[in-house]
Amino acid sequence: MTNDRSWKQTLTEYIREGEPDQATKSEAWQIAIGLQQVDRLETSDYLLSTAREHIEGRIDIHQAQCRIASYYEAEAQRKAVEDGTAEADIVSSRITELLCEKAFQFSPATLQTIHRRLFEGVFDHAGQFRMYNISKKEWVLDGASVIYASWESISDTLDYDFRMEKNFSYEGLALQAAIHHLAAFTSGIWQIHPFAEGNTRATAVFVIKYMKSLGLNVGNEAFMDHSWYFRNALVRANYNDLQQGVHATTEYLEHFLENLLLGTAHPLKNRSLHLHYAELSENANPQSATSKVLKCQFGTLDCSLEELALLHAIIEDPNATQKALQEKTGLALRTIKRMMASLQEKGYIRRVGGKRYGYWECLVADHLQ
């Protein structure tokens, strides 16, 4: 898998020192690779080398996509397909192609087309609206889910949101006010969640192209470095729990868009979006469940919040299967597999006994009390 720092440095060189066309393509690749973080996917070193050839003009984007497809047809790359690396590479190349295209029409059909072009051959339902209702556990909501649109109302709701946006006038609007409005529109179409999977990446590509069509200067660093924050900000923009005093807010999404469009430097820290972050910052009870969810961001363990949630799930049920751990944490199964391998490498967990009758042991349980 691609080293996070190396691919960013490599592609940034073309922006600083390359020709204008190279800078444009490099920015598109940076956004495309960064966006894979919304589903916690990582690209490969092979993708980076292919991207460099495309940026330098030695191959076009279609040749780049053919190389990537051929690479993953080999049986030797089967594990990469299972881990999601193939998906990350394939979708990154397609995002790059779309971002380099100037053509754009503001319509629900365009959003649907973007989803189809990104995920054709990756998901069976590429470009198709879902036919069932969904919920997704979110660590940022302490395991709760956003309430998404009913599948029966997807078309009508999208049509309404797009019609309202098309009739809205940005004339005379200060840029800050425009960003506030764009945040509300973006969070609204994301909440509809028209597709079974791939909604955040499709929404991001659509909104980037829409903002460019409005003449806005869209930077690349926010999506390159903070795509996971972008998704969590969308979650917080669509979640209410009045009993706990939690209200939907586009504040976090506006911070992201201000960094993206204005070059501001809001700190985009995922932990600050957690429902109980304020309580922890104000010396909440260190033995509370909330503190356990966030502790690794302030303690000594080298792990993400998602990994910490997984560790607690393993402590709670050492015999849990990966499928059961997926249900407990709300993480994708491929993410569970990747994170468990990482936690084993770090020496945080180990398998005791065989695959069928064994169990997981958390070796850092004392640090999580």
Can you give the CATH number for the domain in which 204 is found?
Answer: 1.10.3290.10
- Same domain (yes/no): 297, 262: no
Q: Coil, strand or helix: which one is 88? A: helix
Q: Which residues pair with 361 in a beta bridge?
A: 350
- Same domain (yes/no): 250, 338: no
Concatenate the DSSP letters of all residues of 18-63 into one string: S-HHHHHHHHHHHHHHHHGGGGT----HHHHHHHHHHHTTSS-HHH
Residues 6+ apart with CB under 8 A from 263: 219
Q: Which of 226, 313, 318 is nearest to 273 (CA)?
A: 226
pLDDT value, residue 3: 56
- Same domain (yes/no): 110, 234: yes
| Domain termination residue (choose one: 234, 256, 271) | 271
Instruction: Report the C-alpha gap between 139 and 354 in whole angstroms.
Output: 30
| Domain termination residue (choose one: 39, 67, 101) | 101
- Same domain (yes/no): 139, 180: yes
- Same domain (yes/no): 220, 287: no
- Same domain (yes/no): 209, 94: no
How many percent of the chain have pLDDT more than 70?
Answer: 85
- Same domain (yes/no): 141, 158: yes
CATH of the domain at 291: 1.10.10.10
| DSSP label of 246 | B
- Same domain (yes/no): 5, 118: no
Helix (H) or strand (E) holding 86: helix 85-100
Instruction: Report the C-alpha gap between 205 and 117 in whole angstroms.
Output: 11
- Same domain (yes/no): 237, 135: yes
- Same domain (yes/no): 120, 267: yes
AA identity, residue 62: H
| Domain termination residue (choose one: 57, 78, 101) | 101
| DSSP label of 285 | -
- Same domain (yes/no): 296, 185: no
pLDDT value, residue 288: 39
- Reported as half-sphere exposure (CB side, CA atoms, 13 A), residue 136 has a value of 21
Q: How many CB atoms sit inside 10 A of residue 253's CB?
A: 26
Instruction: Output the furthest CA–CA distance in the chain (Å, rounded).
Output: 68
Number of domains, the chain: 3
Q: What is the pLDDT along the chain (369 residues), one digit of tens a residue?
A: 565 556 666 676 665 555 558 889 999 999 999 999 998 888 999 999 999 999 999 999 999 999 999 998 875 556 656 668 899 999 999 999 999 999 999 999 999 999 999 999 999 999 999 999 999 988 889 889 999 999 999 999 999 999 999 999 999 999 999 999 999 999 999 999 999 999 999 999 999 999 999 999 999 899 999 999 999 999 999 999 999 899 999 999 999 999 999 999 999 998 899 887 765 555 444 333 344 444 444 345 677 778 888 888 898 888 888 888 888 887 888 888 888 888 888 888 988 877 777 888 888 887 665
- Same domain (yes/no): 94, 111: no
Domain that holds residue 186: 106-271
